[in-house]
Amino acid sequence: MNAARTDERCWVLYRIDDNGNEVEMRRFATRSEAEAEMRAFEARGHKQAYLVREDRDSPM
C-alpha cells in the first residue's frame, strides 16, 4: 500500500555557486521552514545565493 506519507519533505533549499550550479542543501516539510533557513544563511554574509523551490516530484 502506497499511502501518502506526512513526513515527506517537499520544499528544497539550494545553494547557487558562482558558476550558476545549484546544490541541494536540505529538504523541509513547509515552505516557511525552508525560507527561514535560507534567510539564516543569507544573514551570514556569504557571496552564495540561495533558492527555495518546491520538489514537485516528491510523493505527497
Boundaries of every domain in the chain: 11-54
pTM of model > 0.85: no
Full 3-state SS string of the chain = CCCCCCCCCCEEEEEECCCCCEEEEEEECCHHHHHHHHHHHHHCCCCCEEEEEECCCCCC
pLDDT in tens, 6-60: 456 699 999 998 899 999 999 999 999 999 999 999 999 877 899 999 998 765 5
